[in-house]
Amino acid sequence: MKKALITGANKGIGLEVARQLLQKGYYVYLGSRNLKNGEIAVESLKGEGLTNAEAVELDVTSQNSVNSARIEIEKKTDVLDVLINNAGINGVKFDGNTPIMHTATDTSVAVFKEVYEVNVYGVIRTTQAFLDLLKKSSAPRIVMVSSSQGSLALHSDPTFIHYKFKGAVYQSSKSALNMYTIVLAYELRDFPFKVNAVSPGSTKTDFNHHLGAGSVEVAGNRIVKYALIGKDGPTGKFFSEDMQTETGEIPW
């Protein structure tokens, strides 16, 4: 049975990705920074008959937590087939239903650090910690849950639908994640890895006070597709199914 680890899997898109991978026959470790919340999520999946799941305490901002998760998982398996780096925050406060976007001119470095700690350094920490287990898989897959908001090409194109939705912190964190994805895919090019960044599209979750456009089912499906891609599939690419390009690929 193939094994997958998902960060931030106790709710939102991460939980749905867990559900869909379980339905595909994977054994899923649900990373959750609060173990209790992870266990509640696992119980809800078990209630749906999806029993091959367990919660693992994993706070991506803590090296100790990531190391402990690595030790816990290694006690149970010596191979990991899929890593979904899903945990993410935007650090955005809301005024009613209106997000207060982070300006480039006066947002404090502390806010950048808080968001980068999860969206960038958290991904690096987790990926590096689990890379040796992934290398033992015959077909390792890493999916970075990114955002079209992180595309430098799109955000400098005035015809981009979200051109005016500018925020200095979250958007730049996903741009940094994107470049990490490109370099990681390049370094792993001689292994059977597929490493891709996927934008799930605007989705109703706690992340945006449920003001997103789409469902977690659709978002989860977009991510799972790249966790399951075959040996001839792409690597080092950026996909966003909701941008309606011919192949789903979008510019970095």
Q: Kindly state whether residue 208 participates in binding ligand NAP, applying the rule CB under 6 A.
A: yes
- For ligand NAP, the binding residues in 90-129 under the rule CB under 6 A are 118, 122
* Residue labelled with tokens 């402990």: 68
Residue among 87 and 228 whose Cβ is closer to ligand NAP: 87
Distance CA 221, CA 195 (A): 17
Q: What is the bridge-based pairing of β-strands 53-57 and 3-6?
A: unpaired
Q: Kindly state whether residue 142 participates in binding ligand NAP, applying the rule CB under 6 A.
A: no
Q: Kindly state whether residue 238 participates in binding ligand NAP, applying the rule CB under 6 A.
A: no
Q: Assess contact for 65 and 41: CB atoms under 8 A.
A: no
Which one among 18, 60, 66, 69 touches ligand NAP, defined by CB under 6 A?
Answer: 60
Q: Kindly state whether residue 137 participates in binding ligand NAP, applying the rule CB under 6 A.
A: no
Phi, psi for residue 247 in degrees, rounded to 5: -100, -5
Q: Which of 62, 39, 54, 41 is nearest to 5 (CA)?
A: 54
> Residues touching ligand NAP: how many (CB under 6 A)?
31
Q: Kindly state whether residue 11 participates in binding ligand NAP, applying the rule CB under 6 A.
A: yes
Which one among 2, 19, 33, 102 touches ligand NAP, defined by CB under 6 A?
Answer: 33
* Residue labelled with tokens 């077909």: 139
Distance CA 236, CA 180 (A): 10
Which one among 5, 19, 82, 88 touches ligand NAP, defined by CB under 6 A?
Answer: 88
Query: Under DSSP, is residue 137 helix (H, G, I), strand (E, B) or coil?
Result: coil
Site string for ligand NAP, 152-191 (x = CB under 6 A): ----------------------------------------
Q: Which two tokens stand for residue 230?
A: 């075959």
Q: Assess contact for 199 and 188: CB atoms under 8 A.
A: no
Which amino acid makes up residue 112? F
Instruction: Please report how close the Cβ of residue 80 comes to ligand NAP at its closest, in angstroms.
Output: 17
Helix (H) or strand (E) segment spanning residue 12? helix 12-23
Q: Which stretch binds ligand NAP (CB under 6 A): 18-26, 95-103, 189-197, 204-212?
A: 204-212
Which chain residues interact with ligand NAP by CB under 6 A?
7-8, 10-14, 33-34, 37, 58-61, 86-89, 118, 122, 145, 147, 199-200, 202-203, 205-208, 212
